[in-house]
Chain A
Amino acid sequence: MDLGTFSPVLLIASLMVAATPILLASIGELVAERAGVLNLGVEGMMITGAVCGFILAVEIGNPWVGFLGAALGGALLSLLFALLTQILLSNQVATGLALTLFGLGLSALLGQGYIGVRAPSLPRVDLGPLSDLPYVGRIVFGQDLMVYISLALVAAVWAVLKYTRAGLILRAVGENHAAAHALGYNVVAVRTAAIAFGGACAGLGGGYLSLVRVPQWTEGMTAGAGWIALAIVVFASWRPWRLLLGAYLFGGITGLQLNIQAGGLSLLNILPAILISVGIVTLLVQLFRHLRGGPVARRTMITGQLLVAAGIVLAGLNRLFPDMRIDQAFWLSASPYLVTILVLVVMSAGRAPGSLGKTFHAST
């Protein structure tokens, strides 16, 4: 297979940058959802974070102050959501949508004087010789600090949820708020904290967009990133490490699409390779488990075999019908969402936090 100028290393390095905003936003939303709150206002919080961060960074002249402002801006807006849904018991779906509308308008107004302004830039971490290592150097040691912070955040959320008492309480509130309340936990307080954390993370994600990835302020610049973050949380079935995988997968799709285009390749040329390699990896993981004496998942084995077979068939078809065309823009762009639905179907139904999206009211 001829990949031309297509470079997997650079693709991975750039997809990490592309995925960081949605990774940050989705890790925050994951915490909120694990506490039982479905906040559909991620887009609104992200864009508010983007504009607050940008304004502060420009005015103070320091990107880190900007990130702080982005987190604060997102968190403040999310407290509005908390006030409505937790104190005034409004419906979470409707309130979240209203939050997005509000955030888009607010950010556009705040940012009016900052269009076309350049922000102070965030340097890439330069670890000298390490960054120059072949292949891994650029990916592991050549990113900017926010990329590492986002990774650390995922690890921290995972550890807190899994090993700490606070994580246990949060999960209890999300699984069954009535029972958690009966045990004496303050459901409203826990949820408000989770919502604020979600807002801060979404704000950071927006700040990363306006300060690093683009980097400038324009109205509506999040362009749907907040909605993708919501999808990733579901894709990950509310688990932090899968969330990381999901974010890089979703973030990588756009990059992959552009790379395929620029390299003059077609999706049909590389799809067999992708299918076969995913299939083989799946089979190898199972084999590894088997060698360690673990149980082998029959379904997964079959899926792996099917993937390999499909790849080979597709490669054959490519040879037979070199003029075959598909709408690759559609399939590439739609695939993350289709995969997310597939994940929802394949995993057992009960994985979503039990009280997700439900209003809690403790009467006396």
Chain B
Amino acid sequence: MKLKHLLASATLGLATMAVAQDDPLTVGFVYVGPVGDGGWTYEHNQGRLAVEEHFGDAVETVFVESVPEGPDAVRVMQQMALNGADLIFTTSFGYMDQTIEVASQFPDVMFEHATGYKRTDNVGTYSARFYEGRAVQGHIAGQMTESNIIGYIGSFPIPEVIRGINAAYIHAQEVNPDVEFKIVWVYTWFDPAKEAEAARTLIDQGADVILQHTDSTAPQAAAAEAGNVYTFGQASDMAEFAPMPRISSIIDNWAPYYIDRVQAVIDGTWESDDTWDGIGPGMVGIGEMTDAIPEEIRASATALKDSIAAGEYHPFTGPLNKQDGSVWLEEGETADDGTLLGMNFYVEGITGDIPQ
């Protein structure tokens, strides 16, 4: 097996050499959804456009959209590498093993895999600390709700989503001890019909604030129809639903990071590493808080955001207990990244089980 692998990489390696002298630098992007999804992929594409804008003729970008997470992803990446891409961003968790595989065949091409945890010499990973934004959302949501019921549309019960739920809950509960979270799992990142249905269900069950960890604007539309329900934009600003129901948003801002990494390749200083940036470096943006939020809540939310950005406050600061009542963080203790990355438990106060 090993020998075959080596042979394969040798042939492919030669091919890369042949095209590697090509200038300008070519940067490839592999997208999981359509660039017009209005959320996750849309923002990655905005990052790509920012790269084009920033570097002008020095950099050329290519992309393929709606690539299924599986064998097709392998082929798309190989194709990009063969056609002279020097740096490839693979922008979905599901591309993890595929990215590693293709990277081993093209040792001269650099790869950046979003939200994954496997790295090699030419595969770096990057993600955003969305939970910092969730903390701000929770802070606002806890005070905006009148029914004390906050609905949460979860995609998959994975650490990233659970982290977001916990961060939002902790900060909602901090300002409103009576708050209750109703969580539904829709098992999709993007299915407008299902997301709309989930939002309607939560509203029917009394929720008057809806948080979503899915990418379409359908829950916003459902909330707009119901009236008197508040929502937050996810991944993208979703400003078309402001000032109501969308009262703020979490924006993924990949542009600075993409520009930075492309620059590193040009300078020859690129190295495989793991980037996990939050509000401070600007990877996570908080969209405009609209007038629907009372002045003083806006002020306190902004203060919370600023202290997170400045690194003065960590959204997971003890004392915090796990759902079963056992102690997780002592007074003043903050969560380490390892625990956060593998988070598979709710904090105390959230009802219901994480689906197994």
- Which residues of A does B touch, CB under 8 Å? 5-7, 10-11, 14, 17-18, 108, 112, 115-116, 118, 121, 209, 213-216, 218-219, 221-223, 225, 254-255, 258-259, 261-264, 329
| Residues of chain A contacted by B202 (CB below 8 angstroms) | 262
Is B196 part of the contact surface with A, judged by Cβ < 8 Å?
yes
Task: Give the complex CA separation of A222 and B198 in angstroms.
Answer: 16
Quick check: B217 and A116 within 8 Å, CB to CB? yes
Is B192 part of the contact surface with A, judged by Cβ < 8 Å?
yes
Known: A116-B217, A214-B196, A255-B197. A263 touches B205 (CB 8 A): yes
CB-defined A-B contacts under 8 Å, sample of 17: A5-B149, A5-B206, A7-B205, A14-B201, A218-B36, A218-B37, A218-B192, A219-B36, A219-B37, A222-B193, A258-B197, A258-B201, A262-B151, A262-B184, A262-B201, A264-B182, A264-B351
| Residues of chain B contacted by A11 (CB below 8 angstroms) | 204
Instruction: Report which residue of A118, A218, A219, A255 has the largest number of chain B beta carbons within 10 angstroms of its beta carbon.
Output: A218
CB distance from A272 to the nearest CB of B (A): 20
CB nearest to B151 among chain A residues: A262
Instruction: Choose from A17, A112, A116 the contact partner of B240 (Cβ within 8 Å).
Output: A116
The contact string, 1 if C-beta is below 8 Å from chain A, for chain B 186-217, is 11001111101110111011110000000011
Quick check: B218 and A214 within 8 Å, CB to CB? yes
Is B243 part of the contact surface with A, judged by Cβ < 8 Å?
no
CB distance from B201 to the nearest CB of A (A): 4
CB distance from A331 to the nearest CB of B (A): 14
Quick check: A219 and B196 within 8 Å, CB to CB? no
CB distance from A192 to the nearest CB of B (A): 31
Quick check: B205 and A329 within 8 Å, CB to CB? no
Known: A5-B206, A219-B36, A262-B205. A214 touches B193 (CB 8 A): yes
| Residues of chain B contacted by A5 (CB below 8 angstroms) | 149, 182, 205-206
Task: Give the complex CA separation of A261 and B151 in angstroms.
Answer: 11
| Residues of chain B contacted by A216 (CB below 8 angstroms) | 192, 216-218, 221
Task: Give the complex CA separation of A348 and B200 in angstroms.
Answer: 40
Question: How many pairs of residues, A versus B, come closer than 8 Å at their CB atoms?
Answer: 91
Quick check: A219 and B355 within 8 Å, CB to CB? no
| Residues of chain B contacted by A121 (CB below 8 angstroms) | 225
| Residues of chain B contacted by A255 (CB below 8 angstroms) | 197, 201
| Residues of chain A contacted by B216 (CB below 8 angstroms) | 216, 218
CB distance from A223 to the nearest CB of B (A): 5
CB distance from B169 to the nearest CB of A (A): 15
CB nearest to B186 among chain A residues: A258
| Residues of chain B contacted by A6 (CB below 8 angstroms) | 205
| Residues of chain A contacted by B182 (CB below 8 angstroms) | 5, 262-264
- Which residues of B does A touch, CB under 8 Å? 34, 36-38, 66, 149, 151, 182-187, 190-194, 196-198, 200-202, 204-207, 216-218, 221, 225, 240, 351-352, 355
Task: Give the complex CA separation of A230 and B6 in angstroms.
Answer: 50
Closest 5 CB pairs of A and B: A115-B36, A258-B201, A10-B204, A5-B205, A261-B184
| Residues of chain A contacted by B221 (CB below 8 angstroms) | 118, 214-216
Task: Give the complex CA separation of A214 and B184 in angstroms.
Answer: 18
CB distance from B178 to the nearest CB of A (A): 15
CB nearest to B152 among chain A residues: A262
CB distance from B6 to the nearest CB of A (A): 40
Quick check: B183 and A254 within 8 Å, CB to CB? no
| Residues of chain A contacted by B351 (CB below 8 angstroms) | 264
| Residues of chain A contacted by B183 (CB below 8 angstroms) | 261-262
Quick check: A223 and B36 within 8 Å, CB to CB? no
| Residues of chain A contacted by B151 (CB below 8 angstroms) | 262
Task: Give the complex CA separation of A259 and B202 in angstroms.
Answer: 8
Quick check: B217 and A254 within 8 Å, CB to CB? no
| Residues of chain B contacted by A7 (CB below 8 angstroms) | 204-205
Quick check: A223 and B191 within 8 Å, CB to CB? yes
| Residues of chain B contacted by A18 (CB below 8 angstroms) | 197
Task: Give the complex CA separation of A194 and B238 in angstroms.
Answer: 42
Task: Give the complex CA separation of A5 and B182 in angstroms.
Answer: 10
Task: Give the complex CA separation of A218 and B217 in angstroms.
Answer: 10
CB distance from A258 to the nearest CB of B (A): 4
Quick check: A209 and B36 within 8 Å, CB to CB? no
| Residues of chain A contacted by B192 (CB below 8 angstroms) | 214, 216, 218, 221
Quick check: B34 and A219 within 8 Å, CB to CB? yes
Instruction: Choose from B184, B191, B193, B206 the contact partner of A213 (Cβ within 8 Å).
Output: B193
Instruction: Report which residue of A121, A209, A221, A222 has the largest number of chain B beta carbons within 10 angstroms of its beta carbon.
Output: A221
| Residues of chain A contacted by B38 (CB below 8 angstroms) | 115-116, 218
Instruction: Choose from B36, B66, B185, B194 the contact partner of A254 (Cβ within 8 Å).
Output: B194
| Residues of chain B contacted by A14 (CB below 8 angstroms) | 197, 200-201, 204
Task: Give the complex CA separation of A115 and B65 in angstroms.
Answer: 15
CB nearest to A114 among chain B residues: B36
| Residues of chain A contacted by B185 (CB below 8 angstroms) | 261
| Residues of chain B contacted by A214 (CB below 8 angstroms) | 192-193, 196, 218, 221
CB nearest to A18 among chain B residues: B197
CB nearest to B149 among chain A residues: A5
CB distance from B149 to the nearest CB of A (A): 8
Task: Give the complex CA separation of A283 and B79 in angstroms.
Answer: 64
Task: Give the complex CA separation of A259 and B34 in angstroms.
Answer: 30
CB nearest to B34 among chain A residues: A219
Known: A216-B192, A221-B192, A261-B183. A118 touches B197 (CB 8 A): no
Task: Give the complex CA separation of A329 and B207 in angstroms.
Answer: 23
Other CB < 8 Å A-B pairs besides A214-B193, A329-B187, 10 of them?
A6-B205, A10-B204, A116-B217, A214-B218, A216-B218, A218-B36, A219-B66, A261-B183, A262-B201, A264-B351
CB nearest to A124 among chain B residues: B225
Task: Give the complex CA separation of A115 and B38 in angstroms.
Answer: 7
| Residues of chain B contacted by A218 (CB below 8 angstroms) | 34, 36-38, 190, 192, 216
Task: Give the complex CA separation of A14 and B207 in angstroms.
Answer: 16
CB nearest to A13 among chain B residues: B204
| Residues of chain A contacted by B225 (CB below 8 angstroms) | 121, 215
Task: Give the complex CA separation of A329 and B192 in angstroms.
Answer: 19
CB distance from B65 to the nearest CB of A (A): 10
